[in-house]
Homo-oligomer: A and B are copies of this chain.
Amino acid sequence: YGKNTIKFLRLHKEGKKQFVKEVEVCAHLRLTSPQEYLDGNNSLVIPTDTIKNIVLVLAKKNGIPSLEQFAIDICNHFMTTFCQVAYVKAYVQEVPWQRLHEDGVPHIHSFICVPDGIRFCEAEQCRNGPLIVFAGIKDLKLMKTTQSGFEGFYKNEHTTLPERHDRILCGEFFCKWSYGERKDFDFNCIWKKIRECILESFAGPPDCGEYSPSYQKTVNCIQMHVLSRVPQVQVIEVVLNNTFYNVVDMKNLGLTNDKEVLVPVETPYGSCTCTLGRKS
């Protein structure tokens, strides 16, 4: 079982307008025989260097119309070319270059890196099995400054946390969903729609928001919203790495602090994870 990581840039032009994709590709392979481990027999081993060449050649020949299509291309190539490959997984992640605009006019060849959530995807396949496509977003940091609490939790002699009905909800999201075996979706369009669903269900309506009784419930709301609005999604996993903020006690300093100044609590920090699918 081995994996390799390759970073590169793929440019293309339409007239004078330039387009750029910078990606990090990680290819995982498992061979049908472990003989290189047991006997030191390398005759079936596909070197890292060859894998890199294949990925770059595919990028040159096919371009990267979507991360998902590129991951599918990689899987297909390894499965059809190498009969010694028992399993392949291609992970593709994007550097979030966005076209620069000046007074609303898009620039033909200049870009800025805007990492407000990183798009990634995965395609995986076992020999004789279906090719499954996943997509996701990671490093997405969101905050609600109100409309969040945590009450009615389990208590015993080790409980010191007070109940709170107006805390900060803040954290970093990792969301990954499966499209099942379908490879003919408009992956770019669906991804944008799912990102919007995540933001909407995190925040609630713009004029009033929606109360979150726990990190867990917010995770579930996002999942339910995506599953109900995007029929192409089969299963969705959400991991939320919480950042806690404590209201600073200023009594000793002669001041009342009405949730105006808060400090992040670096440890303990927590995370909650849930995977939700459709009834079959």
- CB contacts under 8 Å to B, within A53-92, are 53-54, 56-57, 59-61, 81-82, 84
Q: Report A11 CB to chain B, min CB distance, Å.
A: 6
Contact between A11 and B84, CB atoms less than 8 A apart = no
Taking CB atoms, residues of chain B closer than 8 Å to A109 are: 144-147, 203, 209
Contact partners of A57 in chain B: CB under 8 A = 158, 250, 253, 255
Q: Are A153 and B46 in contact (CB under 8 A)?
A: yes
In the bound complex, do residue A268 and residue B49 qualify as a contact, i.e. CB atoms below 8 Å apart? Answer: yes
Interface size grouping (class) on chain A: 35 or more
Complex formed: what's the CA distance from A91 to B4 in Å?
Answer: 27
Are A203 and B7 also in contact (CB < 8 A) when A48-B270, A160-B50 are? no
Choose among B56, B154, B202, B271 the residue that contacts A2 (Cβ–Cβ < 8 A).
B271
Max count, chain B CB within 10 A of own CB: residue among A36, A156, A263 = A36
Q: Are B110 and A220 in contact (CB under 8 A)?
A: no
Residue A230 CB within 8 A of the other chain: no
Asked if B36 contacts A216 (CB within 8 A), the reply is: yes
CA distance A252 to B161 in the complex (A): 11
CB pair A111 B145 closer than 8 Å: yes
With an 8 A cutoff between CB atoms, is A131 at the interface?
Answer: no
Set of chain B residues within 8 Å of A204, measured between Cβ atoms: 110
In the assembled complex, which residues on chain B have CB atoms less than 8 Å from the CB atom of A36? 214, 216-217
Q: Chain A at the B interface: mostly helix, strand, loop or mixed? A: mixed
- Let me know if A110 and B144 touch, CB within 8 A: yes
Query: Closest residue to A59 on the B side, CB-wise?
Result: B261
Q: Are B10 and A261 in contact (CB under 8 A)?
A: yes
Shortest distance in angstroms between A261's beta carbon and chain B's nearest beta carbon? Answer: 5
Which of A113-121, A122-130, A174-182, A186-194 forms contacts with chain B? A113-121
CB pair B264–A143 under 8 Å, yes or no, is no
Q: Does A152 contact B (CB under 8 A)?
A: yes
Which chain B residues border A264 with CB–CB below 8 Å? Answer: 7-9, 267
Q: How far is the CA of A244 from the CA of B52 in the complex (A)?
A: 14
Please list the residues of chain A having a beta carbon within 8 angstroms of any beta carbon in chain B.
Answer: 1-12, 16, 18, 20, 34, 36-54, 56-57, 59-61, 81-82, 84, 97, 100-102, 105-117, 140-147, 150-154, 156-161, 168, 199-200, 202-209, 213-214, 216-217, 219-220, 242, 244-245, 248, 250, 252-255, 257, 259-264, 266-274
